[in-house]
Amino acid sequence: MKLALGLVVAFFSSVTFAAGGSTYPLEQIELDYTDKESLQRGLATYSHYCMGCHSLKYQRYERTATDLGVDHEIMVQAVVPSDKKIGDLGSIAMPSKGAAEWFGAPPPDLTLVARKRSPEWVYTYMKTFYVDPSRPLGVNNKVFPKVGMPHVLEPLQGLQHAVCDEVITRDNVIAQADLGSGQSLSERQCGSLEVVEGTAQLSAAEYDRLIYDLVNFLEYVGEPTKAKAHDIGIYVLLFLMLFFVFAYLLKREYWKDVR
């Protein structure tokens, strides 16, 4: 009996592991890649906060500018690094070996991240960094336990604490460790996250909007033809509707004499 139970437990823990080590519920979002202003805001956030570490090496700056309706001159001034041309791919100068030593893992290219994970995963990931002094950078993440990335948007979102049996702070975590539970914060079941008052520059709704735009942009770079395909689809439908009217009139014309 004990063996059977052990096998069941082992099976379920391997299932959770396969799912990425976290069963944190993902927030659902409806992306809209026809919303050019949202994509432009996402591009701005990416170039300010992410481009220092993460490349978009399968996408040319020029393509992004054209698809998003950004003036090429502005793109060169605001986004394209000074040693690059607008026709270049969005690779970055950070050596991945050095980065792996600094962060424990190299920052992956983000061109396909929304495809590989899912837009919902990336959205929830950007919202669930929380204080965990047992981690080298002082933060952990709900959907990516033991993440090597710092919470680069912390000034905007504010400092988040996990609410467990009690609020985890830098001070009382040491007391907790002394209790010898042997579990790190990331392994403990702590439900919701709470932003510490006075640490955020943006309201919760503004931060959600910022991340939504960012994920919308990352989804677009993962499949830049989708925005175009959508436009073309509408024209095809309009054409078919128009064609139907003419076909119908023609049919009436032919059958007029038959009856």
Residue (29 or 163) nearer to ligand HEC, CB: 29
Residue (25 or 52) nearer to ligand HEC, CB: 52
By the rule CB under 6 A, 107 interacts with ligand HEC:
yes
29: closest CA among 218, 232, 230, 222? 218
Q: b/e per residue, 83-103, with b = 16+ CB within 10 A?
A: ebebeeebebebeeeebeeeb
CB atoms within 10 A of CB 221: 24
Residue (137 or 163) nearer to ligand HEC, CB: 137
Query: First-to-last CA distance in the chain?
Result: 83
By the rule CB under 6 A, 79 interacts with ligand HEC:
no
Residue choice 31, 39, 50, 92 for contact with ligand HEC (CB under 6 A): 50
With the CA atoms of 90, 93, 97 and 103 taken in that order, what torsion angle do they form, in degrees rounded to the nearest 10? -80
Distance CA(46)–CA(41), nearest Å, equals: 9
Structure-token pair, residue 218: 């990352």
Are 172 and 225 spatial neighbours (Cβ–Cβ below 8 Å)?
no
Burial class (CB in 10 A: 0-12, 13-18, 19+), 166: exposed
Distance CA(18)–CA(24), nearest Å, equals: 14
Question: Which single residue brings its beta carbon nearest to ligand HEC?
Answer: 50
By the rule CB under 6 A, 139 interacts with ligand HEC:
no
By the rule CB under 6 A, 80 interacts with ligand HEC:
no
Residue choice 6, 25, 52, 98 for contact with ligand HEC (CB under 6 A): 52
Residue choice 70, 122, 131, 143 for contact with ligand HEC (CB under 6 A): 122
Residue (151 or 161) nearer to ligand HEC, CB: 151
Contacting range for ligand HEC; rule: CB under 6 A; set: 122-130, 131-139, 189-197, 224-232? 122-130
By the rule CB under 6 A, 137 interacts with ligand HEC:
no
Rule CB under 6 A: which of 85-104 touch ligand HEC? Answer: 103-104
Residue choice 44, 58, 108, 109 for contact with ligand HEC (CB under 6 A): 108
Residue choice 31, 39, 65, 153 for contact with ligand HEC (CB under 6 A): 153
**237-240, long-range: CB within 8 Å, 24+ apart, which pairs?**
none
**Size of site (CB under 6 A) for ligand HEC:** 24
Contact set with ligand HEC (CB under 6 A): 49-50, 52-54, 103-105, 107-108, 110, 113, 116-117, 122, 125-126, 147-150, 152-153, 214
